[in-house]
Structure 1
Amino acid sequence: MAGIELGKRVAEVKANYAERLTSTAASVAFCKSHFARLIAEGLPEEFHIVTLDTKHRMINSHRITVGTLDASLVHPREVFRPAIKDASSCILLAHNHPSGDPTPSREDHQVTKKLTEAGNIVGINVLDHIILAREDCVSIREIT
């Protein structure tokens, strides 16, 4: 059983690496799959980044912060440290809303703007920010 599970996980990683995130729909679909556990079970808010190469394929995924039931503090220093270590070209931001409502808050928009500005300075593009919730997943870029 353990061997089968390990094989499934290896296949999933290979499939995720080959997938190019070149659209909002592709980013949302990727996040629904990659963060399925967080969508189903995430009680405290968690903020993650997915580092991407120049062809917008996944390099790695990093949990940046774990917040309270309805808030997560995010600072550019913590977000871009793993992105720089991974030598990523761009990043995808993702966090969950434990309430189940994917509607972006004012703070979500502010964090996206702040991280996009910081990314421009360090040369790492913020591709999108996906909000994960039981009801649906929403792209901040799509609704802005």
Structure 2
Amino acid sequence: MPRLSTVLAHTSTAILPTANLRFDVGSKKFDVRVMVDACSGVSRIDNSLAEAMNLPILGVGSERVCKASLIPINAETPRELPDTVRTQFANIVLADPNFYRPTGISVVLGADVYPNLIQPGLLPSSSGRLVAQNTVLGWMLSGTCAQ
């Protein structure tokens, strides 16, 4: 078993499953970054985004509920990735081609929609630390990458 100091000395970056989506709310369209979290009981949207989109928001008890249509924005694998990752995932369309760049998350897609997102297909990296999961939004990467 590795010593704790060895584990802590190993630096890596967590990669969370994200996607770029376009919210289509009639005459307005909003491009946002979402995170998929199957452990979150329900999907959530940032209040300021919901207000900016003029979504009809209903109060249900202490919760506020709204509805919008989502459209995936797919892109080819970007060239800025580390060579090993870029090579392994060069032939798939990523749901978030900038998954490795830190930026805000406006929406969390939870367990209420997770079964509708996942499709057959799982591609582990050669290191086994990063995996691509096929979804209706494109391929989402999650795991860790060495720094």
Larger radius of gyration: 2
Higher RCO, 1 or 2 (CA under 8 Å, sep at least 6)?
2
Q: TM-score, normalised by structure 2?
A: 0.23
Structure in which a larger fraction of residues adopt strand: 2
Structure in which a larger fraction of residues adopt helix: 1
